[in-house]
Amino acid sequence: MKAECPVCGAEIEFAEDTVQGELLECSECGTELEVVSTDPPKVEEAPQEEEDWGQ
């Protein structure tokens, strides 16, 4: 599955076990991306706020 980086347009390849809500990093521009959908594959720029999600 492949999505398109909303920032630079590069193709983002999803791993087979990629799930909605997962964070990925664009290999082209380094932007942190959040998987908003896996079918169809779609990513959006992750929120930039410094949020601590805990462990």
Q: By the criterion CB under 5 A, which residues form the site for Zn ion? A: 5, 7-8, 10, 26, 28-29
Which residues are paired to 29 by β-bridges? none
Q: Which one, 9 or 20, has the nearer CB to Zn ion?
A: 9
Q: Which one, 11 or 37, has the nearer CB to Zn ion?
A: 11
Q: Which one, 7 or 36, has the nearer CB to Zn ion?
A: 7
**Separation between Cα atoms, residue 23 and residue 5, nearest integer Å:** 13
CB of 25 to Zn ion, least distance (A): 9
Which residues are paired to 24 by β-bridges? 33
Torsions phi, psi for 35 (to 5 deg): -75, 115
